[in-house]
Amino acid sequence: MPSTPHSPTRKLILGSTSPYRRELMQRLRLPFDVVAPEVDETPRAGETPHDLAKRLALAKAQAVARQHPSAVVIGSDQVADLNGEPLGKPGDHARAVAQLRRMRGQTMIFQTAVAVVCAEAGFAQSALAPVRVVFRALSDDEIEAYLQAEQPYDCAGSAKSEGLGIALLDAIDSDDPTALIGLPLIRTCQLLRAAGVKLL
């Protein structure tokens, strides 16, 4: 869709409840509001992690844009992809242990998607920033020690690479360094510029 110049009065909204995405957005030094998107995140039958992440990022942005049609809205989603199987947020200790046991010694793809929507301008674009992550062959004791220390139960894949979770990994491969934390800022900036938002 064609982009429309960003009006100085047009609000910027992050459609997310994630504190990690909010912290990342603050790096851009733009004023923005935060609105929780009301979106059903249940995967569809046969939906790949790649497609799920893109669909949910766009759905989140669109849900908030319906409430704030003149605003430029950012939506994002991340799905941990283990050999084509989506792994969500564990939610509790037992599920996190089970996830990390499955992931040890494995190469994962964290499918991180971002979408930018302005309903009034008819603008809607999205992008994917996949991150390849190689987990070490973790012992049960290492898994337990990590989870007790960081309790990353609200993170897809049960680990925070920006914290102690980096010690679980052998390698990270990405062309958008913040994608693994949950919001790919290089892709986000590209989409915001396409929507007419002046960043610098």
Residue showing tokens 């499918």: 111
Encoding tokens for residue 140? Answer: 């049960």
Going from the C-alpha of 180 to that of each of 84, 108, 173, the distances in angstroms are: 18, 11, 10
Q: Specify whether 173 is catalytic.
A: no
- Select which of 40, 51, 77, 154 is catalytic: 77
Whether residue 33 contacts residue 11, with contact meaning beta carbons closer than 8 Å, is answered with yes
Q: Give the integer Cα–Cα distance in Å for 124 and 74.
A: 10
Phi-psi region of 97 (alpha: psi -120 to 50; beta: other; left: phi over 0): alpha
* Three-state SS at 22: helix
Active centre residues (catalytic): 77
